[in-house]
Amino acid sequence: MATERRKPFAIKAQPGFGLVAMLCFFMLYLPIAILVVYAFNAGENIALWEGFSLRWFQSAWANETVQEAAMRSLFLASVSATIATIVAGMAAIATTRTAPYRGLTFKYAMINQPLMVPEIVTAVSLLIVFSRFKVWTGYSGIGYLVLAHTAFCIPFAYLPIRARLENMDLTLERAAADLYATPWQAFKRVTLPLLVPGLVAGYMLAFVISLDDVVITEFVKSGGQETLPTYMLGQLRRAVSPEINAIATVFLALSVLLVTLFYFVNRKKN
């Protein structure tokens, strides 16, 4: 009666994979955790823990440059994401649910192009062109940043809207037409309401992408047009003060919030 108790054979398991996964998550979160912890450190030394304090948040908040950069970042992200979502939404409607037509592939390529070009290349190309524009027009305002951000946000806004449209049941619009709705009425009463989750998702993606951008902004901005990321990049070259940790922590919290929201918007649509 040697009934040795053995674990049943697990079909899906692979030895050691769980360990690597744990290590991976540890790797992903350890640096972030350290960054956040030291944002709350009372001392100046980022290697020594000297007690809990919010002083770095306070000093960052009081820093006018930071305030201004933060406001500029938010402004840029909301304006660029809005424009990008509108034009990408229109483009998505125009490029989905159709038999292939001349120029469709061209449109796809154009819209997705910013995803395929390395950021640094886009950045220098915009530097070249916009520095010319600045000389010709004499205008060196935030418009260039808005234009640049809108352009690279378009594919990010486009993807979820397009996905939503493609999953949408074509017969719903047919049903609307069958029930006497003109094409415009069918769009307004059926397509648009069903598209809302896609539009929200697209807007949020575009917003996060714009908010995070550092390379392109760094090359396009005129003097005095720091955004939060370019400000941080500038600070990183100097002796780092925990104030940066505080800013990064707030930034991080904002990203987490947006991703969480995005996650739930996306889940609700199913």
Partner 1 sequence: MSDATRIAENARRADIRNRWWLTAPALFILFVAAIGPLLVVLLYSFMLKGDFGDVKYGQFSLDGWFSVFFERDIFDDTVGIAEAHVSILWRSVKLSLITTLLTLFIGFPTAYYISIQEPRRRDLLVFMVTIPFWTNILIRTFAMQEVVRNEGVINTLLVWSGIVDRPIQIMYTDWAIFFGMVYVYLPLMVLPLYASMEKIDFRLVEAGYDLYAGRFQVLRRVIIPLVKPGIVAGSILVFIPSLGAYVTPRVLGGGKNLMLGNLIDLQFGQGKNWPLGSALSITLLVIVTVALLFYVRNASKSGGGHGH
Partner 2 sequence: MASTANAIDARGVSKVFKGAGQDEVRALDNVSVTIRENEFFTLLGPSGCGKTTLLRLIAGFDFPTEGEILLHGENIALLPPYKRPVNTVFQNYALFPHMTVGQNIAFGLEMLGKPKDEIAARVSEMLKLVRMEELKDRRTSQISGGQQQRVALARALAPRPKVLLLDEPLSALDYKLRKDMQIELKRLQHDTGITFIFVTHDQEEALTMSDRIAVMSKGKILQVGSPHDIYVRPVDHFVANFIGETNFLKGKVISSKGGKATVELAPGGTLLADVPEAGLPKGEISLVVRPENATLVKPGKGDLSGTVETIVYFGTDTHVHLKLTDGTAFMVRQQNAAGSGVDVKTGDKAGIAIAAGTPRILMD
Q: Which residues sit at the interface with partner 2, rule CB under 8 A?
A: 169, 171-172, 174-182, 185-186, 189-190, 193-194
105-144 footprint of partner 1 as x/- string (CB under 8 A):
--x--xx-xx-xxxxxxxxxxxxxx-x-------------
Q: Give which of partner 2, partner 1, none residue 263 binds (C-beta under 5 to 8 Å, depending on kind).
A: partner 1
Q: Which stretch binds partner 1 (CB under 8 A): 56-64, 98-106, 166-174, 185-193?
A: 98-106
- Among 75, 78, 233, 241, the residue binding partner 1 under the rule CB under 8 A is 233
The verdict on 170 binding partner 1 (CB under 8 A) reads: no
Binding residues among 68-87 for partner 1 as defined by CB under 8 A: 83, 86-87
Q: Give which of partner 2, partner 1, none residue 76 binds (C-beta under 5 to 8 Å, depending on kind).
A: none
Based on CB atoms, which residue is closest to partner 1, 124 or 192? 124
| Cα 157 to Cα 77: distance, rounded to the nearest angstrom | 12
